[in-house]
Amino acid sequence: MGKITRRLMMFGGVAAVGGGLAVGYALLPYTTIDRARKLAGKSGETMLSAWVRIGTDNSVTVIVPHSEMGQGVHTSLPMMLAEELDADWSLVRMEQAPADMAFANLGLARGYLRGDKSIPSWMSGAADFGFRKVAESMNLQITGGSTSVRFTGVDGFRRTGAAARSMLIAAAAAKWSVPAGEIEAKLSKLTHASGKSATYGEMAEAAAAIAPPADAPLKAKKDYTIVGTPKARFDIPAKVDGSAKYGLDLRLANMSYAVVTASPVFGGTLKSVDEAPAKAMRGVKQVVKLPDAVAVVADNTWRAKEAALALKPEWNEGAHASVSSKSIYAAMDAALDAGKFEADHSVGDVDTALKAATKVVEGAYRVPYLAHATMETMNCTAQFENGKLTVWGGFQDGLGARAAAAKFAGIPIDDVTLHHTAMGGGFGRRGSTLNYLKHAIGVARAVQGPVQVVFTREEDMTQDNYRHASVSRMKASLDDKGKVNAWLHQFSEKFDPPEATMVNYDFAHQASRYVTGLNPIPWGPWRSVDHTQMGFFIETFMDELAVSAGQDPFEFRRAHLNGAPRHKAALELAASMANWSTKPAEGRARGIAMREAFGTIVAQVAEVSLGEDGRVRVHNIWSAVDPGEVINPATFTAQIQGGAVYGLTAALYGEITIDKGRVVQQNFPDYDMVRMADAPLHEVRFIESGARTGGAGEPGTAPVAAAVGNAVFALTGKRIRELPFKNFDLKTGTKIASL
């Protein structure tokens, strides 16, 4: 059986189902491994590990503990395992792991353990359940923080593939009485110069008798045949013919549909509601009152929606009824004035250096709340039967959601079954704030049979957990050579990841400090998390410093990257891709920005012009990306491009405002999005520096607002210090919105 090496463990033996071999790589105790075998081992197949099975038909099924949101992880993780296994890619399939402890996200946990970082707060889905300590070692199944490939893939999938390959070779060596070193494993086949050969499927049973190696050698990058080549994603065919089943597409026998209306003021509760207008409507089955919401249950979604609109619930609005964006910004400014800061990063002695400086530059910035606005609105289907709960839906952390469901329902986690559906976007929304799950459980308690609880777009937009608004104040000193000596960043609210507030430039003195506790509405992770604000604040101010120093914005940044060769190389590549040294066409200008986010460096140049209406048009983006290594280049390119569109939507249009404790925006007409006509041409090039593998889903979002704003400044000489740009006549720099 298994060997224990430090915290990790290779395990192997006879699979509980189908006989043959089980081998894997884990941090888990044996009891959990047995459970994983039982769940993943299917009859007629040999289970090769908790993360891979080899079938008698020689198929390779990789079991992925992360959720697919379109970022391609259901393909890139199997690519990493298949590479080390030397599998024939055409035989590889994937399955999403059940939401069970046995498939907890070990690699991710280990990544954090090894990185000496605490578990980030966006993993609170699991932490909320009250076993944070357990979560800190293993109870994670989160898809977020661009972690899947970085941790699960690098730590788990590669080693599992290599161990399995080594066991197959050892089995063949024993059977054929030849040295293992003479056996070649290639394309799911073992061969020896004597002419002997076997498929992996044929050798899997024999391999079950082999002790799993704890540290099978990994392949050299130069020998890769799968990783680094574009592979078609497994999830795409079902997404072009309408057959992919998202949460909203679930259709069960005797299922009802419910539309929920929650207190429009955050923290409010239901005071009363006259159910009669809804009950009189066709198809309405019942009205369910929840502590903070009311739901109409009907025989289809539209009837439930229409009947929900007919209700006029009264709310106890609670403590936040007078909160507005204005009051929130004012509180943030007041806190920054008061100067009661939490310490963040610090290098050198900023305060002394700033006092001694002769030239000091200052900047003040702010960004608003943002909704996630996934295309599929929040929803969840739930059913109670004999005290046990079954839920169906899209979750970024299946295990955390299952734990949360148990907590909401007040039953043990073993009495909760969670079924994953395809997810129509996540971006952080389907991670830790599970109000849709909570409502579904509340409604299901009152309903016979399964009930699909649906957020209308209006409910989705007004009951989100928002990217938090933030106010930023910058101060820096320039020496007589035009170099930054000291850099001080003071801002409101710090979240995750911890390094997002750091600056990669080599300033002798730098510090960041923040005030906290000033967001009275629900807030949480949003694609690239703190990098969304920090990218805009830091890289806009960097541009202002370049202007003050009388230097070109690219050269100015470059001159501050002598201690950061990867960043410098990315910046130089982006400038070269954009022909930075040449003058753009008449009426156009370029801006540059750079962020390192989730282990990936993205340097971006944006080229813009202004329309007659004073609105910015982004024509081109060039991104130079150093993620260390690229697993699936097609997917990675699409993630950088899509991430930039997400960030561009925020820069151009994104604004959730609060009035009387309520979200003002209701739907896409007042929360607009970048569409085809707004989407820039975006060239992406990679630098595979060999550094530890970085994330793909989020880094493209971080620098884009600053790159565009810096380009607008280059064009107009007007510096826009708050988002979104739609609130300004960019020709004059005048604010045209009231807030």
Partner 1 sequence: MITITVNGAPHEVDVEEGMPLLWVLRDVLNMTGTKYGCGVAACGACTVMVDGAPVRSCSFPAALAVGKAITTIEGLKSGETLHKVQQAWIAEQAPQCGYCQSGQIMAAVALLNEKPQPTDAEIDAAMTNICRCGSYAQIRAAIHAAAKA
- Give contact residues for partner 1 (rule: CB under 8 A): 69-72, 230, 232-233, 235-246, 248-249, 251, 257, 282, 300-302, 305, 373-377, 422-427, 456-457, 634-635, 638, 641-646, 667-669, 673-677, 679, 681-682
DSSP-assigned letters across all residues of 163-204: HHHHHHHHHHHHHHTS-GGG-EEETTEEE-TTS-EEEHHHHH
Q: Which residue type sits at 73?
A: V
Nearest to partner 1 of 696, 706 (CB atom): 696
Minimum Å distance from CB 1 to partner 1?
41
Nearest to partner 1 of 548, 666 (CB atom): 666
Nearest to partner 1 of 309, 547 (CB atom): 309
Nearest to partner 1 of 23, 77 (CB atom): 77
CB contact burial 112-131 (16+ within 10 A = b; e otherwise): bbeeeeebbebbbbbbbbee
Nearest to partner 1 of 507, 671 (CB atom): 671
Strands 416-420 and 388-393 come out as parallel
CB 6 within 8 A of CB 16: no
Q: Count CA atoms closer than 13 A to 382's CA, side-chain side.
A: 29
Nearest to partner 1 of 113, 281 (CB atom): 281
Minimum Å distance from CB 414 to partner 1?
31
Minimum Å distance from CB 389 to partner 1?
24
Nearest to partner 1 of 35, 305 (CB atom): 305
Minimum Å distance from CB 77 to partner 1?
16
CB atoms within 10 A of CB 14: 16
Minimum Å distance from CB 558 to partner 1?
28
Residue linked to tokens 């943002």: 370
Residue linked to tokens 């016979």: 448
Minimum Å distance from CB 302 to partner 1?
4
Nearest to partner 1 of 374, 504 (CB atom): 374
Nearest to partner 1 of 245, 735 (CB atom): 245
- CA–CA distance, 430 with 144 (Å, rounded to integer): 10
Nearest to partner 1 of 430, 662 (CB atom): 430
- The strands making up 3-5's β-sheet, listed across from edge to edge, are 3-5, 8-14, 21-26
Minimum Å distance from CB 525 to partner 1?
16
Nearest to partner 1 of 392, 646 (CB atom): 646
Minimum Å distance from CB 428 to partner 1?
12
Dihedrals phi, psi of 466, to nearest 5 degrees: -85, 150
- CA–CA distance, 618 with 297 (Å, rounded to integer): 45
- Grouping H, G, I as helix, E, B as strand and the rest as coil, residue 569 is helix
- CA–CA distance, 17 with 461 (Å, rounded to integer): 46
CB 38 within 8 A of CB 77: no
CA dihedral 561, 567, 569, 575 (to 10 degrees): -90
Minimum Å distance from CB 657 to partner 1?
19
Nearest to partner 1 of 357, 673 (CB atom): 673
Nearest to partner 1 of 490, 637 (CB atom): 637
Nearest to partner 1 of 546, 593 (CB atom): 593
CB atoms within 10 A of CB 529: 28
Cα distance between the two ends of the chain: 65
Any bridge partners for residue 11, and if so which? 24
Minimum Å distance from CB 395 to partner 1?
14
Contacts for 136 with CB less than 8 Å, ≥ 6 apart: 109, 112, 113, 118, 119
Contacts for 445 with CB less than 8 Å, ≥ 6 apart: 384, 409
The long-range contacts involving 578-586, CB below 8 angstroms and separated by at least 24 positions, are 578/605, 578/607, 578/620, 578/622, 580/554, 580/605
Minimum Å distance from CB 684 to partner 1?
10
The long-range contacts involving 662-671, CB below 8 angstroms and separated by at least 24 positions, are 662/264, 662/265, 662/462, 663/264, 663/371, 663/461, 663/462, 663/464, 663/521, 665/371, 665/461, 665/462, 666/457, 666/458, 666/461, 666/462, 667/457, 667/458, 667/461, 668/373, 668/457, 671/371, 671/373, 671/461
Minimum Å distance from CB 69 to partner 1?
5
Minimum Å distance from CB 667 to partner 1?
5
Nearest to partner 1 of 166, 637 (CB atom): 637
- Per 3-state DSSP, what percentage of the chain is helix, strand, and coil (rounded to 5)? 35, 25, 40
CA distances for 551 relative to 482, 507, 604, 711, angstroms: 8, 17, 18, 15
CB contact burial 336-348 (16+ within 10 A = b; e otherwise): beeeebeebeeee
Minimum Å distance from CB 705 to partner 1?
14
Minimum Å distance from CB 592 to partner 1?
21
